[in-house]
Amino acid sequence: MTCENHDHSGHDSCILHVPLFTGLPEQGVLLLNEAVHSRRYRKGELVFQEGDRSDALYIINQGVVKIAQLADTGKEHVLRFLFHGDFGGMSALFKEGLHYANAEVIEDAVVCRIYRNDLKTILDHDSDMAYRFLAAISERLRDADEWAGSISLMDAERRLAKTLLIFRAKAAAPGVYQLPVAKKDLAALIGITPETLSRKLAAFESQGVISLTGKKGIEIVNVDVLEAIAGLLPQQRL
C-alpha cells in the first residue's frame, strides 16, 4: 500500500531533482517544499484514472508513467510517456475538472503532487515561478503539437526513429541503454503492431543504425543516419 508524504529538502527531494525547478532561489525552494507531496508507486499501480477529479499537478521524480485512454472496444490508446522531470495534470492549474486518461506506472516510480490551491498561492506571490510554469506549459504544448504531427504525417519508420532518439535523450545515455517501456507499449505509442515494430528494429539493426541487446537493450550506433530517417532538421536534433 502506498502513502503520500510531504517532500522535504534532501537527496530525494522532488524540488532538487526536477529540471522545472532548477535554479530556483532558496525562498522558492522552501515554499515548494511545503506544498509538495511525494508518493512511491509500484509497477502497475495507477497515479490517477480517467474520470477522476483533477486537482493537482503531477511531477515524475523517478520511474516511468504511461498516459493512455481505453476505447469502448477495450483497446488501449497510448498518448505519451512521462519520464523523470516530466509533468502532467496541467489543466488543474487553471480549473478543476476530470482526468481524460489513465496514468499507469510501468516502472516503479516516485511521483510528486502539488495541489492546485497550494500552487495558485505560490504563483500569485512569485512572478518568476509563474513565468517558469507558463514557459514549461508552452513547451509541453509545442511538443504535443509536434508529436501529433509526427503521428499523422510520418510513416512508421520515421515515427520509430524519432521515438528512439527521444528515449535516448531521456536516458541521457550515449551508449547502450534500456528501452524505458515494453515493446508492446512502444508499438502502441507509434501506432503499429508489435510484429511490425520487431521487423523495423531488425531492419535498423541490419542497416547498422542500431544494435540490439537482449529484450530491451539498444544502442544507437549511427545517430546521424537515425536523425536523417526521423527527418530532423539540424536545429531539431536531440
For residue 122, pLDDT over 50 is answered with yes
Query: Per-domain residue ranges for the chain?
Result: 4-151, 154-236
| Res. 204 pLDDT band, cuts 50 70 90 | very high
pLDDT on residue 17: 66
In CATH, what class is 4-151?
Answer: mainly beta
- Region 81-96: mean pLDDT is 79
Mean pLDDT for 177-192 is 88
> What was the pLDDT predicted at 8?
47
**pLDDT confidence bin for 6, thresholds 50/70/90:** low
Confidence tier at 104 by pLDDT (50, 70, 90): very high
One DSSP character per residue, 171-195 reads HT-SS-EE-SS-HHHHHHHHT--HH
pLDDT exceeds 90 at position 233: no
Segment 154-158 mean pLDDT: 85
Q: For 154-236, which CATH class?
A: mainly alpha
Mean pLDDT for the chain overall:
82
CA dist 105 and 41 (Å) reads 7
**pTM score of the predicted model:** 0.79
Q: Do domains 4-151 and 154-236 have the same CATH topology?
A: no
In this structure, of 96-100, 137-141, 175-179, 187-191, the range with the lowest mean pLDDT score is: 137-141
Amino acid identity of residue 105, one-letter, is: V
- Give the per-residue pLDDT at 236: 46
